[in-house]
Amino acid sequence: MSRLRIAAVVVLGLATLAAGPALGQPLFADYAILGQQRTALRAGVRVGSGAVGTVTGTLVLGNQVQVNGTVAADIVRLGPGASASRFFCRFVILSRGGGVVGGPVVGGGTLPACRAFTLPLVDPTLLAPVAVVPGTTDLRVPALFGSAPMPAATYRDVVVGRGALLQLAGGSYAARSIRVAPTGRLVCVDSCRIGVLERVVLGPRAELGAGTPLRANQVRVDVAASSGQRAFRAGARAATAATIFAPSGTVVLGARGTYRGAFVGRTVTVGPKATAREDSAL
């Protein structure tokens, strides 16, 4: 084979790689943030890795939102300065000005082109809620106290006081609800999966998820909250290192927080200037 033919084969191979699965529509495990009906990223949110999408509805990217990966939704609504690497969608609309993809230049710039995607965007069977059977005894850690690692068990309500630390040794846990007060921490010291029947609430600057040096993909929290219920709420500057799977409830990630893992809800809202990164346990 001549050098010219070898070079041609190499170039063709590189082109094939460039057009391969990495450029296809995201798989379920690729998402950092996914809402079933609506997803909204408020002004200044940064998604360092992973896809952002809405299964059947609108994805809103607020002013100056930056998604380093792919976005996917039927309709993508863009604020000024919002951007993403690739768009899989049917329409892109500017939040101000009403421009629609394929039309003229709007607001000083051309709207991004939508790539075609295959329906359903995510297999519905992957979005079925997880059944949870909580225990009958509360677990409470008083303010400013720390617990030894707790073995796998079921609880009724789990409450971590202000500035307190609850450690989970690893394995499977279940609870009716979890509440972590401001600056409190709930940490898995080994791989763990937590089922919650009703809701998880993190106060401002509270933390939940994997402990160092574990990765966020070793902690998963399944919230079984029914349609319309608030399943997961993190306050301002909270931090998570876990996958939060609440496909029937609402997920709210507070402003200026740090969210590593994956976040799935019926609706998902990410507060202003928060940062997110995919490290999924899906």
Where is 12: in which H helix or E strand?
helix 3-18
- What is the spatial distance between Cα 219 and Cα 199, in angstroms, rounded to a whole number? 17
Contact between 218 and 233 under an 8 Å Cβ cutoff? The reply is no
Supply the pLDDT for residue 214: 73
For the chain of 282 residues, list the mean pLDDT of each consecutive stretch of 10: 36 32 82 98 98 97 97 95 94 68 42 86 95 97 97 98 98 98 97 97 98 86 88 98 97 98 98 97 94
Distances (CA, A) of 200 to 15, 82, 102, 138, 186: 46, 30, 42, 15, 11
**20-40 residue pLDDT tens:** 344 689 999 999 999 999 999
- Hey, is 127 helix, strand or coil? helix
236 by Cβ neighbours in 10 Å (0-12 / 13-18 / 19+) ranks as: middle
Contact between 150 and 168 under an 8 Å Cβ cutoff? The reply is yes
Contact between 178 and 242 under an 8 Å Cβ cutoff? The reply is no
User: What domain count does the chain have?
Assistant: 1
In a domain, 1, yes or no: no
Mean pLDDT of the chain: 88
In a domain, 216, yes or no: yes
* Tokens encoding 179: 């509440």
Supply the pLDDT for residue 98: 47
Output the furthest CA–CA distance in the chain (Å, rounded): 76
In a domain, 34, yes or no: yes
Supply the pLDDT for residue 212: 74
In a domain, 60, yes or no: yes
What residues have CB less than 8 Å from 180, skipping those under 6 apart?
160, 166, 186, 201, 202, 203, 206, 207, 208
Supply the pLDDT for residue 275: 98
Name 159's bridge partners: 140, 179
Supply the pLDDT for residue 226: 81
* Tokens encoding 69: 């990966």
In a domain, 220, yes or no: yes
Supply the pLDDT for residue 260: 97
34 lies in which domain range? 27-103+110-278
CB atoms within 10 A of CB 189: 15
Supply the pLDDT for residue 110: 54
Contact between 54 and 82 under an 8 Å Cβ cutoff? The reply is no
In a domain, 20, yes or no: no
In a domain, 63, yes or no: yes
In a domain, 13, yes or no: no
Contact between 15 and 34 under an 8 Å Cβ cutoff? The reply is no
- What is the spatial distance between Cα 3 and Cα 100, in angstroms, rounded to a whole number? 48
